[in-house]
Amino acid sequence: MPRKPIEPGRWGQIRRREISPGVWRAQALYRDFTGVLHKYESRGPSGAAAQRRLEDRLHRASTDGTSGGGATITPESRMTVVFDQWVSEKQVEGQITPQSLATYLGVLERDLRPAFGALRVREVTPVAVNRVLMALSAARKFDTARQARNVLSQVMMMCVRYGAAPFNPVRDAVTVRKPRRDEVRALGLEDIALLRKAVREWEDRPALPRGRRNITLLPQIVDTMLGTGLRIGECLALREADLDLDAPVPTLTVTGTIVRVEGRLLRQSKPKSDTSRRTITLPAFVVAAITEALDLGLDGGPDDLVFPSTNATPRAPSRIRDQLRDAQAAIGTKVTPHDFRRTVATQVANSTTIANATALLGHADEGTTRAALCEADPRGAGPARSDRSAGHSGFGIRDGRCTEGGGTVMAEPTDFGWSRLVRHSVTVDVELRMAGRAGDAHPRPIQSGYRAQWDGLRYPDALLYRDVREAPLILASRTAVAAGEVAVARLYPIVLKEWEATAPGDRLVLVTAGSLKRLGEATVVAIHGLRPGGATASTGSLPEGKTE
């Protein structure tokens, strides 16, 4: 049977021999990480002393042969040594930001090293990982638990690469899920007007007798976040070079964020993620707010910040939160900067599409945006009502409504961005049944104002000639309809000619754009239009009308 070769980074049997009185020699073969064998020897006054000196040399050779000067990792290695090796590799790679590295080190020292440092690599099992993650979750430290799981997963993947672990035990451990928020806050028009007034009055308050009051730029920051949906760090990191206020369509580009590294506030030259780098069109009131901030002439520091502190340094996001809370003390509300972002997301998703809201917020996928959507409460700045059938009045959406027979309430089509595409008075009332069962996560809830695609299945055997038509819908007496639910809706055809053959009783299929995935079905109940002369009529088929 052939002899098993020495593994890379290891050595063979150590042999000792007395070569002269009082002089001993210890020898061993060492195989480096390229597979080449080397003969090492050391001498000492005794066999044990010579062996100790040789083992020290062999350990140094093994350590020097790994990346970053770290230790060789084996199933018997202590996790505290593995953690140090992982940190060394991360620092050598240079692929993560200083802020992320500081976060990783905090989780490592605070949570992972006390829990796993004394264990050997082979002793880190899914059971051991579960015990730590469940303890953090039980203490309601959900964000810490997710960070700990992420860091430990990277550490154990390194062990897999070194051959010290057969698989990543974190992969089979429990997935940490933060409980869903019971209520998500958005702001109504009255809330926004009240808040902006309170912020302006707080900014213009008299200075204290002992000195002059600092300029906080809070009104300008609040207006910018309300009109763009920026994260607070992105807003405070805006530079003059990121603005194009003199263009026919003013814009700003998100290129960075504010981070704290080793106790100092810095402008990081990249935003939270790759998708967060985006260009946003600015409404007039945001242009006015930014211009007002620039006209104050504050020193923007080396980055030419738009909203610098009076010391020419970046403003702290935590300080802005504190100032916003102080400004609301007189009106009794508790709005946070992130509520502005949710408000913008809700407005854009309701008036256009969820895809537009995702692009505006810089999210990686629509699921993240959908989790941030909410219903505005027109009665005050408190949390939004959880009742999905309640009336809706969101930021930038008008409050006008029309009442149909029987008390059915629908929003005016002028509430939505697609209203300019509808150049006629024809509408189609349908009974909509969503696919799936109540409580299903898919298909996703359809918001009132959704720019819907409808397949009449006029040519069911020819997929290339599907009868797909566009007609946004407005729901009656509710703002959304979910899987398995039934609702009454009014359709507003975009191209009238495509709907000429439609009649009461026809079946329509609600599909997604592009992939034509089935979301639900609808039955035509009635069709409303204008007869020659302008009288209102309900007909069995669509009348002639102006199209574009």
- Return the HEC string of 373-407: CCCCECCCCCCCCCCCCCCCCCCCCCCCEEECHHH
Q: Cβ contacts of residue 338 below 8 Å, gap of 6+?
A: 231, 232
Residue 243: per-residue pLDDT:
93
At 181 the pLDDT is 57
Burial of 279 (0-12, 13-18, 19+ CB in 10 A): exposed
Q: Is a pLDDT exceeding 80 seen at residue 275?
A: yes
Q: Which CATH number fits domain 428-455+469-530: 2.40.128, 2.60.40, 3.90.550, 2.40.30?
A: 2.40.30
For residue 361, what pLDDT band results from cuts at 50, 70 and 90?
A: confident
Residue 185: the pLDDT is: 60
Evaluate if residue 540 carries a pLDDT over 60.
no
| pLDDT of 382 | 37
Compare 530 and 394 and report the one with higher pLDDT: 530
Say which residue, 422 or 168, is predicted with more confidence. Answer: 168
Kindly state the average pLDDT of the residues 384-393. Answer: 30
Q: In the CATH scheme, what is the code of domain 189-347?
A: 1.10.443.10
Cα-based distances in Å from 347 to 473, 480, 515: 16, 14, 26
**pLDDT at residue 375, as a whole number:** 46
pLDDT reading at 397 higher than 80: no
CATH class of 79-162: mainly alpha
* 492 CB neighbour count, 10 Å cutoff: 23
Highest mean pLDDT among 176-180, 228-232, 399-403: 228-232
Q: Are 335 and 377 in contact (CB under 8 A)?
A: no
pLDDT tens-digit readout, 472-530: 888 887 778 888 888 888 998 888 887 878 888 888 888 876 567 788 888 888 888 74
Q: What's the CA gap between 423 and 494, in Å, rounded?
A: 8
Total-model pTM: 0.52
Between the ranges 107-121, 195-209, 259-273, where is the mean pLDDT highest?
A: 107-121
Alpha-carbon gap, residue 451 to 513, rounded angstroms:
10
Residue listed under structure tokens 């030419």: 304
Measured in whole angstroms, the distance separating CA 27 from the mean position of its chain's CA atoms is 59
Q: What's the start-to-end Cα distance of the chain, in Å? A: 86
Q: How confident is the model at residue 183 (pLDDT cuts 50, 70, 90)?
A: low
- Under the banding of pLDDT at 50, 70 and 90, the label for residue 411 is low
Whole-number Cα distances in Å, 197 to 19, 138, 193, 340: 93, 42, 6, 15
Q: Give, in order, the Cα–Cα distances in Å from 416 to each of 55, 250, 332, 344, 352.
A: 77, 22, 32, 14, 7
537-545: average pLDDT: 41
Q: What is the pLDDT of residue 210?
A: 59
Q: Which of 449, 455, 393, 400 is nearest to 421 (CA)?
A: 449
Average pLDDT over residues 381-394: 32
User: Would you state the pLDDT for residue 504?
Assistant: 85
pLDDT of residue 385: 32
Question: Rg of the chain's alpha carbons, rounded to an integer?
Answer: 33
Q: Given this model, what pLDDT does residue 69 score? A: 44
pLDDT digits (tens, 9 = 90+) for 231-242: 999 999 999 999
CA dihedral 187, 189, 193, 198 (to 10 degrees): -20
276/184: higher pLDDT: 276
Percent of the chain with pLDDT over 70: 79
Average the pLDDT over 79-106 and give the result.
85
Q: How confident is the model at residue 541 (pLDDT cuts 50, 70, 90)?
A: very low
The pLDDT value given to residue 402: 31
- How far apart CA 152 and CA 146 sit, in angstroms, is 10
- pLDDT band for position 186 (50/70/90)? low
Residue 307, pLDDT > 60, answer: yes
Q: Based on DSSP, count helices (H) and strands (E) in the chain, helices before strands.
A: 14, 21
pLDDT of residue 479: 76
Average pLDDT estimate for 77-100: 85
pLDDT in the model for residue 41: 93
pLDDT number for residue 221: 94
Taking residues 360-365, report their average pLDDT.
Answer: 85
Q: So what's the pLDDT on residue 264?
A: 85
Mean pLDDT of 187-208: 82
Instruction: Summarize pLDDT for 247-267 with one digit per residue, the tens.
Output: 888 999 999 999 887 778 889
Average model confidence (pLDDT) across the chain: 79
Whether residue 460 is predicted with pLDDT greater than 70 in this model: the reply is no
pLDDT of residue 400: 29
pLDDT of residue 17: 92
Given a cut of 90, whether residue 45 has pLDDT beyond it is: yes
3-state class (DSSP) for residue 447? strand
In terms of average pLDDT, the best of 45-49, 199-203, 205-209 is 45-49
